[in-house]
Amino acid sequence: MIRCFLAIDLPDALRPQLALVQGELKKSRGDVRWVAVGNIHLTLKFFGNVPDTEIDPLTQAAREVAAQQEPFKLQVTAAGAFPNMKSPRVIWLGLGGDVIPLAQMYHKLEKAFAALGHLPEGRAFNPHLTLGRVKSPANRHRLALALEQLPPLNWPPFQVNEIILFKSTLTPKGSIYTPLQAIPLGK
C-alpha cells in the first residue's frame, strides 16, 4: 500500500515568503501544528492508502487530463481559515490567478479518478495552501487576530507546468513527501 496524493508543488522562490507568514502567525502562540514550509502544496486529490497496482492507472488518468490542460499561472492572494477567521481550525493562503482553468482541470481529474473508484470530494473546490492545523483552543483568539492583521500578500504569480503524484510517509516528526510521478501539462 502506498499513501499518496496528487498536487501542484510550489516554486522554491515562494518558500521564504511562506516561512515569513508562518513566523508572523506563530507569534500568536496559537496551538497549531504547522506544515513544514517545504511540504506546502496545492492538493488536487488525496487518495490515502492505495494498492501499488493502482499507481499506474491513477498516473495514466492524471496524464490524460493533464495533456488537455495548457500551463497556467496562480498567485497567492490572502490568508484565511476553515471554518472561518473567528474560529480557525485550518490556517491557509488562498490562490487567485488562472483559477478557472485550475477548477476545470480539478473537475476533470475528479471524474477520471471516480471512474477508477476514488469518490469525489463532498465539498466545493477551494484552492488553498494549508499552513497549519489548530490543535486546541489555546490562544485561538490571538491567532484569529494575527490572521486578520496580516498585511496584503502582493506576491508575484507563479507558473504551473506540471502536477505531481506524491507518496506521503508518516513519521513521528511529520510527513515526508516523495515525488512518484511528475506529469506535465499540455501536449
State the catalytic residues: 41, 128
Choose among 69, 97, 74, 73: nearest CA to 184.
69
Q: Kindly tell me the burial class for residue 12, based on how many C-beta atoms sit within 10 Å of its own C-beta (0-12, 13-18, 19 or more).
A: exposed
- Sorted by sequence, the CB contacts under 8 Å of residue 67 that are 6+ apart come out as 185, 186, 187
Choose among 169, 43, 9: nearest CA to 113.
43
Choose among 95, 80, 88, 160: nearest CA to 127.
95
